[in-house]
Amino acid sequence: MVSVLTTTSHNRDVAGLKYVYPVLSRRAGGLSIGVNFNTNNACNWRCIYCQVPDLKIGAAPEMDFQLLEDELRFFLDDVLNGDFYKRFQVHEGQRIIKDIAVSGNGEPTSLKDFARAVTLIGQIATEGGVLPHSNFVLITNGSLVHQSKVQEGLKSLKEYGGEVWFKLDSATEQGKAFINNAGQNCQSGLDNLLLSATLCPTKLQICLFDYDKQGLPAKEKVAFLSVLKMLQANGSLKKVMLYTIARPSLQPEAVHLQPLSVATMTAFAEEIRLLGFDVSINA
């Protein structure tokens, strides 16, 4: 039985492929073709809202480039020329490829041959007529941007008209350690963010949620606004994407989490807009 695609189900196995999977994305606003480099469910962070099953600390495994190519060519043909939309009962208004997103079950930039993979995806999508009409997106925690292999990948992403969605879930050391379980400090993360913006168009994505009914803590909000003022003065970033959790976390902290209220997100978005940013909200 074929699954129905929804914005609340991001099952990486729904198409029966190893690397390629379809998603109806809230942020993209339609069909997103995901490419999962972290097929071993390994990431260098452990975000408390993560929906990846059996998440473990580590890096992406070796890539089977021939399989990636075969799967992506097959899948694009199925969407463009086959009955994909009908089989997965995709609504008429969503029958458009909004983007190809390098994301998946961990930090994609941890792939050893990251730049090669980005280039291959760009080539295939261009040959298939998907790029440049659709977006080409890298969704990343940005922790490895200082590495040369990642920088080469970002340059390739830019060549294919792509962009980086750079995660920033907290602007405080305590918040980052708690939410992301990340060893990287905030300043290193900001340095990587600014570096990313020099290599490829970069947008900031912030996941907001309610932990134990605390809403958006005042300390976090003040810290976010302080960082955003600095980024605005730098002039490298123009877009901030706010979103909240839509699917259950599979981490131990799940029982403490719930979506942040629309009212709180809207009010925070307005404060960010006053700084001069373009802000989107996905509640």
CATH class entry, domain 20-207: alpha beta
Indicate the DSSP class of residue 28.
T
Per-residue confidence (pLDDT) for residue 25, from 0 to 100: 65
Residue ranges per structural domain of the chain: 20-207
- The structure tokens listed for 178 are 């708690």
Per-residue confidence (pLDDT) for residue 149, from 0 to 100: 97
Whole-angstrom Cα distance, residue 251 to residue 280? 27
Per-residue confidence (pLDDT) for residue 8, from 0 to 100: 45
CA distances from 65 to 21, 33, 37 (A): 16, 17, 11
Per-residue confidence (pLDDT) for residue 90, from 0 to 100: 87
Q: φ, ψ for residue 260 (rounded to 5)?
A: -75, 145
Whole-angstrom Cα distance, residue 24 to residue 97? 10
Beta bridge partners of 102: 35, 138
| Averaged pLDDT, groups of 10, the chain, 283 residues long | 48 75 74 96 97 96 98 96 91 90 95 98 97 97 98 98 97 97 94 97 97 96 97 93 94 97 97 97 87
